[in-house]
Amino acid sequence: MSDLCFTLRGLTNNFQPLIEQLRAGDPRALARVISTVENRGPGWSELLKALFPHSGHARILGLTGPPGAGKSTLVDQLARHYRKENRTVGIIAVDPTSPYTGGAILGDRIRMQEHFSDPGIYIRSMATRGSLGGLARTTADVATVLDASGRDLVMIETVGVGQDEVDIVRLADITIVILVPGMGDDVQTIKAGIMEIADIFVINKCDREGAERVEREIRALQSLAVRTDKWTPPIVKTVASQGAGITELAAAIRDYEAYLQKENLVLKHSVDSWQNRLLEMLRDALLERAQEQLANGAVARYAAEVAEHKRDPYSLVEEIVNTLGK
């Protein structure tokens, strides 16, 4: 315990003990490293550099769907299923949150309590922040930490169906889209944006009226396009609250894993994903350096000039880039 108690700043030159504790399965070490990475605390980058070589063994599942689809229940049931197979699980729940409600943290605690007795399940909630598009990247980094900690499976669960969620679940090896019957006409619109990323569809709450209709709609959309990898995403029906269909879902996941292996798609997918991630990391790092190079308060002054229409922002940005390049 004592070596966990000094600050991480002191650890940046010697965080090996912390990493060893994390790799030995110490949940407090894991929580501390995740917090440091999530909040970009002192030493976050060094921690990730040291952990990365230990990552790459976990299977990453991404689960998304519209609000009310019962994602959390499904994720919990799937985690239980994997625990029966003696596989360890890390869950990252990416929730919208608010200074008003602190929603994510509350949900975290409630769900944590339930699994409290099982160290084989680690749940972590992450808040949707107003950062410059950094949530997908932070989620990926936290997944790397869980992976390096030796978890067999990492499940990334997002609430919502926007570009954010697409960016987040795209990090996963296997993407599961959860739909639900009877959500009205707008479901058509919602589904449109995420149809492309689903490796497996789940119709949860399939005992509700309209399950067949949702299935027909998915089939109809599927018939219009062929994936480049020729995989046809299966549709699994579940009632997660009763544990129904979970074994079938796990089997569908196994099938897709086998397909990825057979077609040698795992590495290809990983290269594609890293190409995007490297560009995002590069973009952030370049801006960070530019901000260090710019005079204090320069951006605020420029913003005032643009807001008062004294300068056009398009020429201004070109000028800044040219000046910094010299």
Q: Give the CA count within 13 Å in the CB-facing half-sphere of 256.
A: 25
Q: Which is nearer to a second copy, 117 or 223 (CB)?
A: 223
CA proximity to 176, closest of 98, 250, 259, 270: 250
By CB under 8 A, residue 105 contacts a second copy: no
Cα–Cα–Cα angle for 108, 63, 48, nearest 5°?
70
When binding is defined by CB under 8 A, the residue of 48, 244, 250, 265 that contacts a second copy is: 48
Q: Which residues pair with 125 in a beta bridge?
A: 93
CA proximity to 159, closest of 114, 225, 98: 98
By CB under 8 A, residue 7 contacts a second copy: no
Q: Which is nearer to a second copy, 82 or 146 (CB)?
A: 146
When binding is defined by CB under 8 A, the residue of 142, 161, 179, 249 that contacts a second copy is: 161
By CB under 8 A, residue 89 contacts a second copy: no
**Least distance from C-beta 8 to a second copy, angstroms?**
16
Q: Give the count of residues interacting with a second copy (CB under 8 A).
A: 88
Residues in 165-194 at the binding interface with a second copy, rule: CB under 8 A:
165-166, 184-190, 192-193
Token pair recorded at residue 247: 């074994």
**Least distance from C-beta 159 to a second copy, angstroms?**
6
Q: Which is nearer to a second copy, 9 or 283 (CB)?
A: 283
**Least distance from C-beta 240 to a second copy, angstroms?**
15
- Other CB atoms within 10 A of residue 307 CB: 10
Residues in 217-256 at the binding interface with a second copy, rule: CB under 8 A:
221, 224-225
By CB under 8 A, residue 299 contacts a second copy: yes
Stretch that binds a second copy, among 7-15, 81-89, 94-102, 199-207 (CB under 8 A): 94-102
- Other CB atoms within 10 A of residue 185 CB: 6
By CB under 8 A, residue 116 contacts a second copy: no
Q: Using CA atoms, how far apart are residues 144 and 33, in angstroms rounded to an integer?
A: 11
By CB under 8 A, residue 196 contacts a second copy: yes
Backbone angles phi, psi at 55, to 5 degrees: -95, 175
By CB under 8 A, residue 276 contacts a second copy: yes
Token pair recorded at residue 3: 């070596």
Which parts of the chain fold into alpha helices (H)? 2-5, 16-23, 27-38, 44-51, 71-84, 103-114, 135-148, 163-169, 186-195, 211-223, 246-262, 265-293, 298-307, 313-325
Q: Which is nearer to a second copy, 82 or 206 (CB)?
A: 206
When binding is defined by CB under 8 A, the residue of 1, 5, 267, 295 that contacts a second copy is: 267
Residues in 51-80 at the binding interface with a second copy, rule: CB under 8 A:
52-53, 55-56, 66-68
Q: Which is nearer to a second copy, 255 or 318 (CB)?
A: 318
Cβ-contact 147, 60 below 8 angstroms: yes
When binding is defined by CB under 8 A, the residue of 84, 132, 209, 262 that contacts a second copy is: 132
**Least distance from C-beta 1 to a second copy, angstroms?**
29
Residues 6+ apart with CB under 8 A from 163: 193
- Other CB atoms within 10 A of residue 111 CB: 18
